[in-house]
Amino acid sequence: MLKDITVSFAPHISKPLSTRRVMLDVAVGLIPAVAAAGVYFRLHALLLIGVCVAWCVATEWFCNVIRKKPNSLGDYSAVVTGLILALALPPGLPLWAAAIGASVSIVIGKMVFGGLGANVFNPAMVGRAFLTASFGVLMTAWAVPATIDSAMPAISQEGVVDTRTQATPLAWSKIAIKQQAEAETFSSRQFLSTLTGEVGGCLGETSALAILLGAAYLIWRRTINIHIPLAVLSSALVFGGIAYLIDPETYVQPFFHLTSGALLFGAFFIATDPVTAPLTRRGMWLFGIGVGAITMVIRVLGEYPEGLMYAVLLMNAVTPLIDRLCRRIPAGGRPNA
Amino acid sequence: MTTDSQGRFSFSRGVHPPDSKHLTEDKPIAPGPPVKELAIFLSQHIGAPCQATVKKADTVQAGQEIGECQGFVCAPVHAPIAGKVKEITLRSHPVLGRSPAVTIVAESEIQPTPPAFTLPDGFDPQQYAPEQICDAAREAGLVGMGGAGFPTSVKIQHDAKPPKHTLLVNACECEPYITCDYRIMLEWTDQVIAGIRLAQRACGVSKVFIGIEDNKPKAIEIMTDALQKLGLGETMTVARLETKYPQGGERQLIDAVLGETVPTGGIPPQIGVVVLNVATAAALADAVINNRPLTHRVVTVTGEAIANPGNYYVAIGTPVETLIDFCGNVTTKSAKVVMGGPMMGLAIADLSTPITKTSGAITVLTKEQIGQAKFERRQTACIRCGRCLEVCPENLNPTRIAHAVKSNLLDVAERYFIGACIECGCCSYVCPANIELTGYIKTGKIFLARQRKKMPV
């Protein structure tokens, strides 16, 4: 007869799905971007990715040891943090700086809050913000993709690291516009390059096609839902469009904003980090619109050419408020209403 | 009314668990295990428990009332077999913990066989007055046999306000594994339709819908044909529903078929709808036409760990143990005995727990299967992925409510409408972090109920 019968709450069956599987999906979704980074920035890119991932995993393990907590590496979230951080770094960054960024990501970004699920800010963006604040010069040195020679206009500076560098399309357009150069022709010429990724920029951010390929996989797997990326991109388009309409001489056309810089990568892989984004659909739209708007404000009005990182971090901070604001109302309406 | 591209009715959100009905769907309703000793609970329904009308050592006849009503919302209980009252003691009840039950011992083992049901010649529900139908349902101790156990006589009352316009017959059987309602529709078609017509007469509604999920095409065909033959096609319609859990939840069913919403915390009669399970309809026909009380029911004994799964006609009060033995016992891998289906059923520890009027199935699951369920798998912190929000049929925020309960913040749980939860289990089913969200929410509801009664939490 029966021995050791288990008693627990219903339901007694469940979908074969786990946190590890979700994280693994994100990692798989990042493969095209990693591959693109490998193609355009060669060995150093792969080294950077390797160092970030390894360092994130090691730091998390170490944190668990000193906190005397069970090992949490099995959920693979450290791997994902490492990948996203690496793909948001400039290709010429020294490996030691990447390692520092990875440690900050895990320790300050995640473990001090209590580990996965408890962090307020996107860990990878915390690490990147730390690096931007600490090593400003290193973080804005953009190596030219190895596949092209020097197709970009001549605003480049002396190589900081052991390679040639150049301005990113966004930074370039900003400077060029200030000098009243031929911004219009430039941006349309560069538009194609931003799709394939043959431009300067962060490792994973340059190739729009690789990003979209990975994003399509995540949406097909239902690992991310479309609402946040859609909100980020459409609000960026709207605010970029407003700026362009106000003064087409000064600002680049809005579609250029979408494919350049971190916007696409951020919309699909950074802003969609479930832990730090709102839960409800209305909340997701509010969050996404906020990210898009702040990014455009920084890009158009601010000193930085790029603003997605700060936009995500700022919106992360208000996520609990958004969640409170956008409560779900039961299907049957409010009780006794 | 909302239909999808294939003309099926459905509701928003929900989940698609594997239905596992292949184990028993082709097994005809067979006589259940022979029994000598039965334990009949005095509370098998929602409402006031019955008062025992027999004493220890009394002799009872089959079908005799052994527990009488103590209130309006109540249903009497009857002895399924003739015998002597052995004792009236507390037994473990699947829902209520320890609850009083009358134990009846027969002289010899009796095997229940499904009684032959023949419709009287020229049967017409108009021959019966609505009050007569209600009274018959009350005397027979009819309760909703789909699981909740609300007394049928209260549900189908004629004079209740507001006026009722639609009768929805719930034949979805959206729970995986269970096939008892399906077999009843296939084998007792006339009885089911007679019961539905009587219920329609009792509550005086003009429209009747029979909601069947499209994973039971045979049942849809048979019911449609039978209605056609009787010329009832105008007032009664078979609604083909998408196979999705919890399609058979009454709030979801009403939304799917009628496109109407039952207010949160409300019940279907508020919007003029009566929802009746098919097994209850069959029992109603038996009660009104043959004056037979509800003492037996069809139970699906199923699950991968059962040697001979099947659908059986079982005396109410039969211990689960006897039923499992009768089905060729269990394989060694068995690990969990569930009264009901795997999504909402209650896992029991005491195998002498008797079958009640509301137990439609005994599901015995293997270690591998429950190994896939929450408590066996590694649980991580909530990653706020929002899957539970995506599937919640009541549009709630399960993770927020569950974590509020976990942190003992019952006021927060209430602010997120914990009371609107129908405990369908969709959130726990999809959770990748393997958190028992439904379990926390159920616990929170119990805490709140105790708090209101000023009991210690």
pLDDT of residue A102 exceeding 80: yes
Q: Is residue B119 part of a domain?
A: no
* Distances from the Cα of B398 to the Cα of A134, A282, B44, B335, angstroms: 41, 16, 30, 28
The reply to whether omega before B115 is within 30° of 0 (cis) is no
Show the tokens assigned to B420: 């609107």
Rg (CA), chain B: 21
Q: Are B420 and A19 a contacting pair at CB < 8 A? A: no
pLDDT at B280: 92
Of residues A317 and A225, the one with the higher pLDDT is A317
Judge contact between A19 and B433, C-beta under 8 A: yes
How many domains does the structure of chain B reveal? 2
Compute the average pLDDT of residues A173-181: 51
Q: What amino acid is encoded at B28 in this protein?
A: P
* ipTM value for the complex: 0.83
Nearest to B384 among A5, A16, A274 (CB): A274
Residue B306 bridge partners (DSSP): B330
CA distance B377 to B370: 9
Q: Is residue B322 part of a domain?
A: no
Residue (of A321, A15, A336, A24) closest to B437 by Cα position? A15
Q: Are B384 and A116 a contacting pair at CB < 8 A? A: no
* DSSP calls for B63-89: T-EEEE--SSS---EE-SS-EEEEEEE
pLDDT at A194: 63
Q: Which domain holds residue B240?
A: 21-25+127-290
Side-chain-side CA neighbours of B454 within 13 Å: the count stands at 0
Residue in chain B closest to A119 (alpha carbons) equals B383
B270, B404: one domain: no
CA of A20 vs chain B CAs: smallest distance (Å): 8
Residue A331 in contact with partner chain B when CB distance is under 8 A: yes
CA distance B259 to B2: 6
Q: Is residue B48 part of a domain?
A: no
CA distance A30 to B337: 43
pLDDT at A316: 94
B282, B164: one domain: yes
Q: Are A12 and B369 a contacting pair at CB < 8 A? A: yes
Q: Are A6 and B17 a contacting pair at CB < 8 A? A: no
* Distances from the Cα of B205 to the Cα of A179, B84, B235, B418, angstroms: 80, 43, 10, 33
Show the tokens assigned to B247: 């399609």
Judge contact between B363 and B195, C-beta under 8 A: no
- In terms of C-beta density within 10 A (0-12 exposed, 13-18 middle, 19 or more buried), how is residue B157 classed? buried
Q: Are A14 and B434 a contacting pair at CB < 8 A? A: yes
Q: Is residue B263 part of a domain?
A: yes
Q: Are B439 and A8 a contacting pair at CB < 8 A? A: yes
Phi and psi, residue B277, nearest 5°: -75, 150
B393, B257: one domain: no
CA dihedral A295, A296, A302, A307 (to 10 degrees): 20
Q: Which residues of A touch B425 (CB under 8 A)?
A: 10-11
B270, B133: one domain: yes
Q: Are B385 and A22 a contacting pair at CB < 8 A? A: yes
Nearest to A6 among B351, B370, B428 (CB): B370
Largest CA distance in chain B: 65
Give the A window 185-244 contacts with B, CB below 8 Å. Answer: 225
Q: Are A328 and B397 a contacting pair at CB < 8 A? A: yes
Residue in chain A closest to B261 (alpha carbons) equals A332
pLDDT at B454: 73
CA distance B135 to B112: 26
Residue A3 in contact with partner chain B when CB distance is under 8 A: no
Cα A301 versus chain centre, distance: 21
pLDDT of residue A14 exceeding 90: no
Residue in chain B closest to A222 (alpha carbons) equals B387
Q: Is residue B302 part of a domain?
A: no
**pLDDT tens for each residue of chain B, 457 residues long:** 566 767 788 888 999 999 889 989 899 999 989 988 889 998 888 888 888 888 888 888 888 888 888 888 888 899 888 889 888 888 888 888 888 889 999 888 888 888 888 888 878 888 888 888 888 888 888 898 887 888 888 888 876 677 888 899 999 999 999 999 999 999 999 899 999 999 988 888 888 999 999 899 999 999 999 888 888 878 888 989 999 989 988 899 999 998 888 998 888 888 889 999 999 999 999 898 888 899 999 999 998 888 889 999 999 999 998 998 888 877 766 678 899 899 999 988 888 899 998 988 999 988 777 765 554 456 788 999 999 999 999 999 999 999 999 999 999 999 999 999 999 999 999 999 888 899 999 999 999 988 888 766 5
- Cβ neighbours, 10 Å, residue B2: 13
Q: Are B393 and A5 a contacting pair at CB < 8 A? A: no
Q: Are B264 and A334 a contacting pair at CB < 8 A? A: yes
B284, B418: one domain: no
**b/e for A285-316, b at 16 or more Cβ within 10 A?**
bbbbbbbbbbbbebbbeeeebbbbbbbbbbbb
Q: What amino acid is encoded at A171 in this protein?
A: A
Q: Is residue B382 part of a domain?
A: no
Judge contact between A210 and A31, C-beta under 8 A: no
CA dihedral sign of residues B325, B326, B332, B337 = negative
H or E segment and range at residue B107: strand B97-110
The winner for highest mean pLDDT among A67-76, A171-180, B314-323 is B314-323
Q: Is residue B154 part of a domain?
A: yes
* A·B CB contacts under 8 A: 195
pLDDT at B233: 78
CA distance B250 to B267: 9
CA distance B366 to B305: 5
Count of residues in chain B: 457
H or E segment and range at residue B347: strand B346-347
Nearest to B434 among A18, A277, A333 (CB): A18
B328: left (phi over 0), alpha (psi -120 to 50) or beta: left
Tell which of B290, B313, B334 closes a domain: B290
pLDDT at A100: 94
Q: Which residues of A touch B329 (CB under 8 A)?
A: 1
CA of B345 vs chain A CAs: smallest distance (Å): 6
CA dihedral B165, B169, B175, B181 (to 10 degrees): 170
Edge-first strand listing for the sheet containing B59-60: B35-41, B97-110, B83-93, B59-60
Nearest to B380 among A19, A114, A334 (CB): A19
B397, B263: one domain: no
Task: Tell me the pTM.
Answer: 0.87
Q: Are A2 and B419 a contacting pair at CB < 8 A? A: no
Residue (of B250, B243, B334) closest to A1 by Cα position? B334
Averaged pLDDT of chain A: 82
Q: Is residue B342 part of a domain?
A: no
CA distance B282 to B115: 12
pLDDT at A154: 37
pLDDT band at A8 (very low <50, low <70, confident <90, very high): confident
Show the tokens assigned to A224: 């991310």
Tell which of B255, B290, B325 closes a domain: B290
Residue A5 in contact with partner chain B when CB distance is under 8 A: yes
The three-state secondary structure class of B354 is strand
Q: Are A336 and B265 a contacting pair at CB < 8 A? A: yes
Compute the average pLDDT of residues A206-212: 84
Q: Where are the alpha helices (DSSP H) in B291-346?
A: 320-326
The three-state secondary structure class of B101 is strand
Show the tokens assigned to A226: 């479309």
CA of A324 vs chain B CAs: smallest distance (Å): 10
The reply to whether omega before B162 is within 30° of 0 (cis) is yes
pLDDT at A288: 95
Nearest to A335 among B351, B365, B420 (CB): B420
Count of residues in chain A: 337
Tell which of B290, B322, B352 closes a domain: B290
* DSSP calls for A38-51: HHHHHHHHHHHHHH
Strands (E), B147-188: 166-170
Judge contact between B52 and B103, C-beta under 8 A: no
The three-state secondary structure class of A220 is helix
pLDDT at A163: 40
CA distance A320 to A331: 23
Show the tokens assigned to B290: 């043959």
* DSSP calls for A10-75: SP----S--HHHHHHHHHHHTHHHHHHHHHHHHHHHHHHHHHHHHHHHHHHHHHHHHTT----GGG
CA of A18 vs chain B CAs: smallest distance (Å): 4
Domain of B215, CATH number, reads 3.40.50.11540
pLDDT at B424: 92
